[in-house]
Amino acid sequence: WPTQMCTASAKFNTFLSFHTFPKDKEIQKRWVVNIRRDHFTVTNQTRVCSRHFQSTDLIEPQTPAGRRRLKNGTVPLLFHWNNFSLPAPRTGVWERVERPNTDTLHTEAPSMDVEYSDHDYCSSAEPAALDLSLDHNEDQIARLQKQIEEITISTKFCLERTCANCACQSLSPTTSPKGHNMLHTDRCIIL
């Protein structure tokens, strides 16, 4: 039989019915996909047993001698890998979310005048506004760079002045007086 792990046989089971593949190529493809068989070829003798269809998809015979048939467009859905059952349908967000009672909302809420304004979240800024913002940012960068230069120059000047006043400028760290807290490198730096 085409479905994997299905061992149903018409010889030993009179309650099952066996159904040929549909002629419609699209529905036939859906059957093959659902059956999950590698390298599967449909022939005139290929059948799928009624266990793989929902009971609502089967048309029961009108007479005792009649045959059970399938509704048009029916696809096998019940297999060993899904325990011959379909998952419970997921509830929508509207059903899952608890909402407050609408009667109490209308009676308890004070009336407010609210103006609703539409907002286009997809809109982008005008080029002129972007140019102004760019100019502002460039001015701020230039101002900060100037501050950095001024601080660097004043720090360098203070260090050089300290070194000029240092009594032990020519001394090496090994010959500096014990109480002296200066480290001699290219410049004197107070420790």
Asked if residue 19 lies in contact with residue 47, where contact means CB atoms within 8 angstroms, the answer is: yes
Residue 184, pLDDT above cutoff 50: no
The set of residues, in sequence order, having a beta carbon less than 8 Å from that of 184 and lying 6+ positions away, is 168, 169, 171, 172, 173, 176
Structure tokens at 125: 């800024």
pLDDT interval class at 141 (50, 70, 90):
very high
- Per-residue pLDDT of 113-130, as tens digits, reads 666 666 555 666 677 777
pLDDT interval class at 15 (50, 70, 90):
confident
The mean pLDDT of 84-98, rounded to a whole number, is: 74
Query: Residues of the chain with pLDDT > 70: what percent?
Result: 59
Structure tokens at 154: 């004043």
Q: Residue 142: what pLDDT?
A: 93
Q: Residue 58: what pLDDT?
A: 87
- Per-residue pLDDT of 18-61, as tens digits, reads 888 989 999 989 988 888 888 888 888 888 888 888 888 888 88
Q: If 0-12 CB within 10 Å is exposed, 13-18 middle and 19+ buried, where does residue 122 land?
A: exposed
Contacts 24+ apart (CB under 8 A), 156-159: 159/187, 159/188, 159/189
CA atoms lying within 13 Å on the CB side of residue 59: 11
Q: Residue 191: what pLDDT?
A: 40
